[in-house]
Amino acid sequence: MKPADITHRRVLNVAIPIVISNATYPILGAVDTGVVGQLGDAIPIGAVGIGAIILSGIYWIFGFLRMGTSGLVAQARGAGDGPETSAIFIRGMIIGIVAGVVMFVLQIPMFWGAFQIAPASSEVETLAHSYMSIRIWGAPASIALYAITGWLIAMERTRAVLILQLWMNGLNVALDLWFVLGLDMGVEGVAVATLIAEWSGLALGLWLCRSIFFADHWRDWARVFDRIKIRRMASVSGDIMVRSVLLNGSFMTFLFIGAKLGNVTLAANQILLQFVEITAYALDGFAFAAEALVGVAFGAKNRVALRRAAILSSQWGLAGGALLMAVFLLLGPTIIDVMTTAPDVRLEAKSYLWWMVIFPLIGLPSWMFDGIFIGATRTRDMRVAMLQSTGIYIAVLFLLVPTFGNHGLWASLMIFDIIRALTLWRYYPALEAGAEA
């Protein structure tokens, strides 16, 4: 692989479909929130928000399937090992389906534990439990889709990822509107819509990856269950799992602390988190480009190409962050008004909007480093850095929230992302050195 192979065009060819694809996630969240927001009550908004956060947090424990698959497949491509790319896919699908079944079986203690750790009001908990008990039926599909998405990204087939997400989220939005506003199914309607979208997405995802099944590599069970390969995948997966648990625990802590500030603040934060998700998912497109291109360069043992991939991806991420800041500054109040009709929730959300305006540039460095380290499968460094960042985040929460309330909560989240970037930056020179031939 030559450094000249990493171009602005190639970065954008990988990133832009992912940017568009990822943008549909928070749009879906905004529609979920906006649809129940039309009921004119803060409780359904909070229930859907906290229920979705709990399930997303539980599922994302297995986010190593998306990230680990992406890094390992990209490196296999860089090393010219085509059969291994198929074997990694099959390993990921097996893990995803089994994990989803386990989640379904353990749903009662999982939901109980979530609300024991951070209880909300009884009204919110009741509605949230109803929402989650429906959505958990989609756990196998939802988790297996991580492996599909990671494989497609590593193969630089991001247009297929876009098709997959447009189908799933478009169907989800249409069913949201029909079930909630048309059939008056309330919170349960939002859950059923998501469930249907997840299983249809799994079917479409397998079809998009059908080229794997044209050759016999995918059923070369000796390769699929190779102990050395499985051991490496387990090591990468374990590090990413610890990192994901800590990251999602940090975000869930944010929401749970906000819930203790009252139903109106909980609802306002849920609306503002849609801005956070829009930012994270959109800019993650450039981090995903870094995963694929850094992974290929690392597999080819080309340090110069690796650095070029990291720099070009980050430059485009910076441009995207500046654009989002301008959009939030100009359209933020209007977006809030569209998402809820409750006057008290609108007023509360707008008082914290300026945090959303600065968030894109604060969060970008940590996301870009995540992509770079995933591509190089330097997952041990990610795990250690996240342990350090989480410890500082908890300390900051104890210092700022009692004094500054919800502003202290948002400030803590911003500091968390800054520390995440700084801790990973310390390990970057060693990552580059690992790409030497």
**Tens of pLDDT, residues 89-137:** 999 999 999 999 998 998 888 888 877 766 667 777 777 878 888 888 9
DSSP string, 151-179: HHHHTT-HHHHHHHHHHHHHHHHHHHIII
Residue 137 CA from chain centroid, whole number: 20
pLDDT for residue 267: 84
pLDDT tens string 136-188? 899 999 999 999 999 999 999 999 999 998 899 889 888 888 887 778 777 78
Q: Write down the mean pLDDT value for the chain.
A: 87
pLDDT for residue 188: 80
The answer, yes or no, to whether residue 239 has pLDDT greater than 90, is yes
Q: Where are the domains of the chain?
A: 3-433
The answer, yes or no, to whether residue 45 has pLDDT greater than 80, is no
pLDDT tens string 288-313? 999 999 999 999 899 999 999 999 99
Q: Provide long-range contacts, Cβ within 8 A and 24+ apart, for 430-435.
A: 430/378, 430/381, 431/372, 431/373, 431/376, 431/378, 431/381, 432/303, 432/306, 432/307, 433/303, 434/298, 434/376, 434/378, 435/297, 435/298, 435/301, 435/302, 435/303, 435/306, 435/376
Rounded average pLDDT over 188-211: 91
Rounded average pLDDT over 407-428: 95
The answer, yes or no, to whether residue 1 has pLDDT greater than 60, is no
pLDDT for residue 42: 67
The answer, yes or no, to whether residue 218 has pLDDT greater than 90, is no
How many distinct helices (H) and strands (E) make up the chain?
16, 0
pLDDT for residue 30: 66
pLDDT for residue 32: 66
Contact of 318 with 368, CB cutoff 8 Å:
no
pLDDT for residue 170: 87
pLDDT for residue 219: 79
**pLDDT band of 4, cuts 50, 70, 90:** low
The answer, yes or no, to whether residue 26 has pLDDT greater than 70, is no
